[in-house]
Amino acid sequence: MKIGPINIPLKEDFSLKSILAFEKTPVNILVAVSVLAMLAMLVIGVATYLLHGHHAYNVTREHPWGLLIAVYIFFVVSSTGFCIVGSLGDVFGFKDFTMISKRAIFGSIVTILAGFTVIAFEIGHPVTMMIYNVLSPGLTSAIWWMGTLYGLYLTFMIIEFYFLLNNDMKKAKVFGLTGLLVGLAAHSNLGSVFGFLNARTISQGVFYPTYFILTAFITGIFLSFIIMGFRYKLNFNEKTKKLLEGLAKIQGLLISILIFFVTWKLLTDIYGGMPNRAEVAEHIIHSGSFWTEVILAMIIPLLVILKDFGKSPVLMFWASLSGMVGIFFMRYNLVHDTQLKPLQMMKIREYQLSPEWIHYFPSVTEIMISLGGLGLCILLYYVGTRAFNLDEDEHH
């Protein structure tokens, strides 16, 4: 497709018909129906939000950030992860990883679009945000930097993808590197949104900005297994096996580092004995959602990798699905745990019990919008696979 000087090489048979013409296997039909259901939930969720505002959410004065913030983080972490994996080949020149670059960069675009969609319904005034982000920038705010840099990052990713589609590897490399650096800056700023919270000692400090980059890379590799698994229907050729084995080995190292980081974070939190931080950390290790995160995102994938040092791509596909569920819990825990401890520890109403822990469970509307974001992400990715050639071009 040509628009002026811009040439977008679409697949020749791309049409609404080609989108609907998927193989009608039970799995494909299940995925298609699920995506439609999730998109319907998005519509219902957004309609409820537009009617009732934040009252449709279970966020409160004490727990102002809820599920949608966690889901936004989940998507942008996925995007940064895709970007890192995509850069291995086309920016850093690791030949084995080049075959996933185009697919991963496209993945980074659709995941961040899904993230922006979800956050648009969490921010009370998204239009005002766009205006005053420019007219009255709060340069000391991590949210300002995170949002602005992610906007730039999306632009660079789109330009990189365009050059990848047109096989202009030189320009793709320049924009890829710039996008990667901006993306890493944006993502660590997202970590610092929590790291700057002096009032919340459990999150305050350097841990989250660095941990976000590490977990983004891990997320990117989980997602790579998932998209390659769907691409080759778990029937991988030799070249793909080599790619996935390399990724699995990196993943083994990264998950080990993550376990090391998290262990020391909790040890210093608990045995450091700092008021507020220590009791929150103890509360965290007694919560089921923390262990869900540990088992699904760390233990299961690591055991699968260690079994034969990453030589079982099919098993790794399933472990990556488990990993992504674990990563979701990781994001949810991060947001919820930050707000666990009430800032007001005195009773302010008659007949009130003394404040203990802040309780939060997402409302149906929040869950619907979140699942809708996932549905949108899968739909965009699927349409992309129909519209563009996301495989590596033969002549490289």
Partner 1 sequence: MARYGMALDYKNCINCKACEVACKEENGVLLGADKHRIWVGSNDVKGEWPLLDIASAAFLPSQCQHCDEAPCQEVCPTNATYYDENHVVRVDSDKCILCSYCMNACPYDARYVDDRTMTVDKCTFCSDTRLARGETTTACQNTCPTKVRTFGDLDDYDSEISELLRTREHFSLKANLGTKPKLFYLT
Among 344, 351, 394, 395, binds partner 1 (CB under 8 A): 344
Using CB under 8 A as the binding rule, whether residue 124 contacts partner 1 is answered as: yes
Buried b (16+ CB within 10 A) or exposed e, 198-222: eebbbbbbebbbebbbebbbbbbbb
Give the whole-angstrom CA distance, residue 70 versus residue 78: 12
- Strand, coil or helix: what is 7? strand
Q: What is the dihedral of CA 329, 332, 335, 337, to 10 degrees?
A: -60
In the region spanning residues 136 to 175, those forming contacts with partner 1, defined by CB under 8 A, are: 136-138, 140-144, 147
Tokens of 269: 């939190």
Give the whole-angstrom CA distance, residue 178 versus residue 205: 27
- Residue 73, Cα to own-chain centre: how many angstroms? 6
Give the whole-angstrom CA distance, residue 360 versus residue 332: 11
Using CB under 8 A as the binding rule, whether residue 264 contacts partner 1 is answered as: no
Contact flags string 64-83 toward partner 1, x per CB under 8 A: xx------------------
Using CB under 8 A as the binding rule, whether residue 178 contacts partner 1 is answered as: no
Tokens of 254: 């990264």
Using CB under 8 A as the binding rule, whether residue 202 contacts partner 1 is answered as: no
Among 96, 342, 382, 383, binds partner 1 (CB under 8 A): 342
Provide the minimum distance between the beta carbon of 330 and partner 1 in the complex, in angstroms, as a whole number: 19
Using CB under 8 A as the binding rule, whether residue 359 contacts partner 1 is answered as: no
In terms of residues, how long is the chain? 396
Among 343, 356, 361, 389, binds partner 1 (CB under 8 A): 343
Among 19, 129, 270, 383, binds partner 1 (CB under 8 A): 129
Among 9, 10, 18, 54, binds partner 1 (CB under 8 A): 54
Provide the minimum distance between the beta carbon of 75 and partner 1 in the complex, in angstroms, as a whole number: 17
Closest CB to partner 1 among residues 129, 158:
129
Give the whole-angstrom CA distance, residue 194 versus residue 173: 32
- Chain residues that interact with partner 1, rule: CB under 8 A: 53-55, 59-62, 64-65, 123-126, 128-129, 132-133, 136-138, 140-144, 147, 193, 196-200, 338-339, 342-344, 346-349, 354
